[in-house]
Chain A
Amino acid sequence: MGYFLQQLINGLTLGMIYGLIAIGYTMVYGIIGMINFAHGEIFMIGAFISIITFLTLGLVGVGWVPLALLIVLVATMLLTSVYGWALERVAYRPLRHSPRLAALITAIGMSIFLQNYVQLLQGARNKPLQPVITGGARFLEGGAFAVSFSYLQMLIIVLTIALMAGFTLLINRTALGRAQRACQQDLGMAALIGIDVDRTISLTFVMGASLAAVAGLMFLLNYGVIDFYIGFLAGVKAFTAAVLGGIGSVPGAMLGGLLIGLIEAFWSAYFSVEYKDVAAFAILVLVLIFRPTGLLGKPDVEKV
């Protein structure tokens, strides 16, 4: 029981991170119908900017952890979202009316570029960070397996839920959210009724990138070590999560992320660590075969 509970907590934490990245994929796919393959790299850049900010703050002497965390969070979200914006402006906007494959190739090219850019600038070695948040609650001490629920995990879960709530409000209640939903339904029509489509798409990338930046920060805090290659696997899994939840659907992305995180945690705990990635992909294939639109996706009507 204790062991199961522990894996549940670990899986939830991991799933929150995947979910935050998956939102970026799902929103971009919903609006312009392309796989933003470089989104995983944006997540990686977020993690790098976080570690850089942490170390700089340490140098400047900001020692109080909540303040440092807040500064890092804001700085990372801000700087990473500039990357998201620039990515769309440079690589995707010129290709908006081109064949979809062209945009996919640019995205892959951008992903290769960003990976090597970070590798060149920051070096190929692992970057470790001392634990910033330590301690946690322990329960079921008397049982066979004591469960630990660290403050960090609590923070990740609470922060993600808060972000998700804010984000849902933004999509459902604000003018920007309405514009986004309109663009998702029909870009041409949205432009006709006076929505600035370019601006909406740019802001979508900015929001996706800032959520991915938070995920990068959480990844850094959770694992304590990053390298320039973390974006690929995390990105692929997050995309898997987005597809699993039904691509284009924001709650679906979160649900898919949680499921992938839980599957990964339980699979590593009960079966084998080596094949945890295989499990995630295998489940994706199964879902796509039996429910091609994902768990929360709307069925796609084929028009002739």
Chain B
Amino acid sequence: MQAQAPGPAFDFGAALKDAGLVAGVVVLLTIALVGVRVQDISSGPAVVFRFDDVVAAAVLAFLGRLGIGLLRARRPLPVLVAALAFALGLSAILVHDVVAGGADGADLAHRLLPFASAVVNWTIALTAWVLSARAAWLLWYASESALDAEAREARMDRLSARVQDWARLVGPLLLGVAVMLPFLPGIDRRLLDIAILVVTYIMLGWGLNIVVGLAGLLDLGYVAFYAVGAYSYALLALYFDLGFWTCLPLAGIMAAFAGMLLGFPVLRLRGDYLAIVTLGFGEIVRIILLNWYTFTNGPDGVSGIPRPTFFGLPFTANPAEGEASFHSFFGLAYSSVDRIVFLYYLILGLALITNLFTLRIRKLPVGRAWEALREDEIACRSLGVHPRNTKLTAFSIGAMFGGFGGSFFATRQGFISPESFTFLESAIILAIVVLGGMGSQIGIVFAAILLIGLPEVFRDLNQYRMLAFGLAMVTIMVWRPRGLLAHREPTVRMPERPPPAGEAPQETRA
């Protein structure tokens, strides 16, 4: 790739060939799965041909690839003209469709649209806009040579280092916003629900970060501990009639115990084996929950899980005779949002405890040992750190926070079933940790907002949500393989200059 040199010799034939190749691959990819659809009708499945979609996809891939090839060769002008014209035209038709009520489909303009689905069309229009913006940028800064991958990486590293510096400032600011959130204008119940969800994932991300980020153990079954926590609370409440505040620590202890039980035999395995075993464990927990009908109620789940109380005051409209509820005790008017606000503060508190715990334990010997183990296990072993026991502490502490999160989940939902604890949840939590930049606490916050908050806001695009989620995971990782805010500060630094002779040397353990 000779993109560095401004304006290298441009081989139009080669670019055409390349674009043709891409179009050919797209045809092969789409001809069966896109071009033929298996339809369910009563007489058994039959097929419907949609080869126009295949053609559209191939043409678009050809043009897009050609455009990218031209941009790489510093020929932005034709790309700008073509992409802009295409983007404008497509957007105009789409906007017209929205204004005209969309679905008539009879007029000519509508038939020009490449695909039947509006979301896909909008995505293509957006891509065209991005392409033309990129072309315009190149045209404007024609003299500036392109950054190669390393320079870009270095620039992003500097940026994330700066963000980490800001974190001291941004952290309290975010915290302030988070604390004030229920009282900000424009926050309704729906947004508050989303906020609760996001904070739940932030907490789980912070919990898993202890295992993955600090101790470097790849855990693909974190949701198992989440499930243990949730079911501990639900079943304790069901069988022993215990309240939320009694069960919260118990759920944490049980999850930590489950972590120890699993970790003890498997933690001496190397990274990838550990990943597959934890994945298997997650599935085992789910299968047991699903099939142990007499105890967990199987696929029907546990319902009627008690809601949390405010120091014993329930959030009910009409409390039982002789008992006070939250609103009557404080002399407020009953509002159903009260409970949501309380749940929000509950999870925020739990998340902050997790964060504080992580920040503090990094400074303790055991936290140092985790990070040292992550970096070099052999060196640690020769220095007398017991690898398995040290990992076990990280594993079970991470599990404990998962358990806390789980019992919060149970009390928020009021109903749990094994459906909620699939591998996808583990994958999402792990993605939050890794995308944020491993070990970066603030990165996890951003990643959770990005991965959980955004798709929730766009819930209307329901069926495309997970598709976009998967695509976002891939794109972010390819763009920034070490995570969005990956900038690893050593926890302990050697002093830069030797201390003056009179003073005692500063203690530096790593």
Contact = CB atoms under 8 A, between A and B. Distances in A.
A130 B464 CA distance: 31
A48 B36 CA distance: 11
Contact of B275 (A35, A75, A123, A127): A35
B37 A122 contact: yes
Given A130-B44, A278-B288, A285-B265, A120 B474 contact: no
A123 B38 CA distance: 8
A56 B33 contact: no
Contacts of A119: 463
B28 interface: yes
A122 B471 CA distance: 19
The 9 lowest CB-CB distance pairs between A and B, nearest first, are A109-B473, A113-B470, A98-B481, A112-B470, A281-B280, A102-B481, A116-B467, A274-B291, A109-B474
Contacts of B130: none
B146 interface: no
A146 interface: no
15 contacts: A45-B33, A52-B32, A53-B32, A78-B28, A112-B470, A116-B470, A117-B467, A240-B280, A274-B287, A274-B290, A278-B288, A285-B265, A285-B277, A288-B277, A300-B270
Nearest to A274: B291
A108 B427 contact: yes
A63 interface: no
A112 B287 contact: no
A109 B38 contact: no
A289 B277 CA distance: 11
Contacts of B281: 281, 285
B47 A56 contact: yes
Interface stretch (B6-14, B175-183, B191-199, B428-436): B428-436
Nearest to A126: B40
A274 B290 CA distance: 9
Contact of B28 (A79, A102, A282, A300): A79
A48 B31 CA distance: 12
Contacts of A289: 265-266
A94 B474 CA distance: 11
B473 A105 contact: yes
A288 B471 contact: no
A106 B477 contact: yes
B81 interface: no
B472 interface: yes
Contacts of B483: 102
A91 B477 CA distance: 9
Given A94-B478, A102-B481, A284 B279 contact: no
Contact of A121 (B33, B44, B423): B33
A238 to B, nearest CB: 11
Interface centre among B29, B40, B270, B280 (most CB of A within 10 A): B280
Interface string B442-486: 000000000000000000000110110111111001100111000
B31 A79 contact: yes
Contacts of B430: 105, 108
A278 B287 contact: yes
Interface of B: 25, 28-29, 31-34, 36-38, 40, 44-47, 212, 218, 265-266, 268-273, 275-277, 279-281, 283-284, 287-288, 290-291, 378, 423-424, 427, 430-431, 434-435, 438, 463-464, 466-467, 469-474, 477-478, 481-483
Interface in A233-260: 236, 239-240, 243, 247
Contacts of A123: 37-38, 40
Contact of B269 (A52, A99, A288): A288
Interface in A127-147: 127-130
Contacts of B31: 79
Given A109-B473, A128-B44, A243-B273, A82 B25 contact: yes
Contact of A240 (B266, B276, B438): B276
A127 B477 contact: no
A288 B290 CA distance: 26
Contacts of A113: 467, 470-471, 473-474
A105 B284 CA distance: 22
A284 B470 CA distance: 29
Interface centre among B277, B287, B473, B482 (most CB of A within 10 A): B473
B33 A52 contact: yes
A95 B473 CA distance: 13
A237 to B, nearest CB: 10
A116 B468 CA distance: 9
A236 B279 contact: yes
B291 A284 contact: no
Nearest to B467: A116
